[in-house]
Structure 1
């Protein structure tokens, strides 16, 4: 008869092996679930179009990024500020805009009643189309035109921005001017009044044909840009549909999902789940070896656990990504090598 102690030991060994088998199955289930969600996310990105990189404010141009869409955020840096050379007005901003208005007659019809008043208007008004043009004739073409000036170079993070993206920056702030900075030929015509230039001898009482010139600039503020990488420059990507600019600009530090809501959300804790699968597999292999030749052999258990988890993950990636499958199978080979080495150490002879 076997002793009670021997029976208890055999029972404990069997229980440990059952627990080991359960842990090993849990490890395989965990790695299969984790890799499936990573594969689904990768497939969703492929359906979306070009790869999407979330570089934030610290990303740098690097090999292999060409053509990828990326999110970059931070405070824009104006390297070459815009300047209105005609009026000698400059602003440390991405965009400088000159507005020109003329004091002109306007025709206003309300409830069938037509009346005329003079006001500042940013385009010539043709009075010949008025119901009563007599006495309401406007001067015609402006002698000075409105214009927009873009900075020679604007950077966001470590990337230059294409002019099309800079032009889309939102917000406007007034740029006050001083007549002392005007060229001599314009100083004789214009007078500064409340931060703008006017040709009126009495700015509070403008007359027909007087001009008013003012400037606005795009303010410097934290921005988030989603665009395509072309070397060290962010440029518009290929428009997915009519009316799409091929890029997006938003104020503030916005997340990738804020800027691109249609983008699938990246799976969380991918590396942690992979590490957990390895740990479960290694402990499962340890328990399976209880009472056997490799009882408490942590190195052998590590080799077996790495082989099992890596082989399953590698097999899953074979059809979708040969590179990822190769990395997983390399880990499986390394795990197998560790296990074989432990077998050789225990038996004292090579295995075939």
Structure 2
């Protein structure tokens, strides 16, 4: 892999930075508002999903995959069995055939790639100088990289399009005993396994200029020394396998269960699992998503507060060291505000959805806010009502 680079130096005046920081106040305010909305919505979503899963677990019934019982129509059912199909999937270009649930073709092309990194230095007077380095290397990519958008396209030209497109096919009918899986359920089966290609691979045909290289088709002169525009094609499939599902039985297929709060439940896992295990896994995923969105909300709020106070940072940047000190202080305040307001927002949402737990979170958030206020008061200088030191003259009597 070869690499070369191009460096660009740009400057920005103190006035331009100040104008940008003022406009950033509006963006920061909007970001804080969006973060508050996200945190509130996320708590409601989490509670609604958890309650729907609890409701589903209380109503699910076990059924056998070998037969369709009419008395289970419209009921939430759990069953396990082998998902399989009688269909043969065929790649329309390369002719490869496989009896599988899914078949896919992945195409990659050897291309130039641009990566950039920037380093900004503050100068006396508040201006900045930014040095941006653009590095160019070559590698395999599954999408066309537009080399016209490169900072320095000369000598780094990529082909305008792939020689072949990515492609996939799903069997139209996949059976689970006496039942058939719905399209929504099939979309959850993505355990693709790479196909090792050989001359004996069923139906495989190579286009002109192509050759087999290991487990892939190679378009180019030498797989050991790829050139820009060379391509490689790989195939993968999802084999018949054991699955477990929870859904509403409708005829010989399934539809999602709609809980009393409107949330839909439709679970499918590769392997054999009990209903209890499947609902527990769904609850775990719900908790994980909740924490991820919480972190996203807190981070967005932190960035928003930093932008709100960004003008102070630029004003102090006339002296670079002072600007850095103010920046550290702004980061600390933004972090405290983001943590405090996030906790209060989450607590209020929980009070709205689950009052018992929400009250505790609200008290924690208020305690942080109170502690911040007390620490500010403690750090303020005391200038009044100080006792006179020993040996100092008494204050003059009142007139």
User: Which segments of 5 or more consecutive residues in structure 2 lack a partner in the other structure?
Assistant: 1-51, 119-131, 283-399
> After the TM superposition, which residues 100-115 of structure 1 pair with which residues of structure 2 at under 5 Å, given as runs?
100-110=107-117, 112-115=132-135
> After the TM superposition, which residues 7-46 of structure 1 pair with which residues of structure 2 at under 5 Å, given as runs?
none
Determine if the alignment matches structure 1 residue 158 to structure 2 residue 192: no
Q: Which residue does 1:83 correspond to in 2? A: 90
Using the TM superposition, give the Cα deviation of residue 261 of structure 1 relative to its aligned residue in structure 2, in angstroms: 3.6
> After the TM superposition, which residues 50-69 of structure 1 pair with which residues of structure 2 at under 5 Å, given as runs?
51-58=59-66, 60-69=67-76
Using the TM superposition, give the Cα deviation of residue 104 of structure 1 relative to its aligned residue in structure 2, in angstroms: 0.7
* Distance change (3 Å), C-alpha of 1:205 and 1:96: same
Is the CA contact (8 Å cut-off) linking 1:101 and 1:211 kept in structure 2? yes
Distance 2:155 2:113 in 1: 12
* Distance change (3 Å), C-alpha of 1:128 and 1:237: farther
Q: Which residue does 1:206 correspond to in 2? A: 226
* Distance change (3 Å), C-alpha of 1:127 and 1:57: same
> What is the TM-score normalised by the length of structure 1?
0.55
Determine if the alignment matches structure 1 residue 95 to structure 2 residue 102: yes
Is the CA contact (8 Å cut-off) linking 1:81 and 1:153 kept in structure 2? no
* Distance change (3 Å), C-alpha of 1:103 and 1:69: same
Q: Which residue does 2:212 correspond to in 1? A: 192
> After the TM superposition, which residues 139-154 of structure 1 pair with which residues of structure 2 at under 5 Å, given as runs?
139-154=159-174
Q: Which residue does 2:272 correspond to in 1? A: 253
Q: Which residue does 2:240 correspond to in 1? A: 220
* Distance change (3 Å), C-alpha of 1:239 and 1:200: farther
Is the CA contact (8 Å cut-off) linking 1:81 and 1:152 kept in structure 2? no
Distance 1:205 1:245 in 2: 52
Distance 2:203 2:245 in 1: 36
Distance 1:46 1:102 in 2: 48
* Distance change (3 Å), C-alpha of 1:220 and 1:182: closer
Q: Which residue does 1:127 correspond to in 2? A: 147
The one-character-per-residue Cα deviations of 1:216-269 (angstroms, maximum 9, x if unpaired) are 112433211122222111344448889x77421212211111112499xxxxxx
Is the CA contact (8 Å cut-off) linking 1:106 and 1:118 kept in structure 2? yes
Secondary structure of residue in 2 paired with 1:203: coil
User: Which segments of 5 or more consecutive residues in structure 1 lack a partner in the other structure?
Assistant: 1-43, 264-352
Is the CA contact (8 Å cut-off) linking 2:76 and 2:249 kept in structure 1? yes
When Rg is computed on C-alpha atoms for both structures, the one with the higher figure is: 1
Is the CA contact (8 Å cut-off) linking 1:89 and 1:177 kept in structure 2? no
Is the CA contact (8 Å cut-off) linking 2:57 and 2:275 kept in structure 1? no
Is the CA contact (8 Å cut-off) linking 1:50 and 1:69 kept in structure 2? no
Secondary structure of residue in 2 paired with 1:64: helix
The one-character-per-residue Cα deviations of 1:142-199 (angstroms, maximum 9, x if unpaired) are 2311111111321112211112211211422101223566676x43232111111111
Is the CA contact (8 Å cut-off) linking 1:98 and 1:214 kept in structure 2? yes
* Distance change (3 Å), C-alpha of 1:46 and 1:65: farther
CA RMSD, aligned part only?
Answer: 3.1
In the alignment of these two chains, the number of paired residues is 217
The one-character-per-residue Cα deviations of 1:118-144 (angstroms, maximum 9, x if unpaired) are 111000111122111111111012231
Give structure 1 regions of 4+ aligned residues with deviation exceeding 6 angstroms.
Answer: 239-242
Using the TM superposition, give the Cα deviation of residue 95 of structure 1 relative to its aligned residue in structure 2, in angstroms: 1.1
Is the CA contact (8 Å cut-off) linking 2:55 and 2:259 kept in structure 1? no
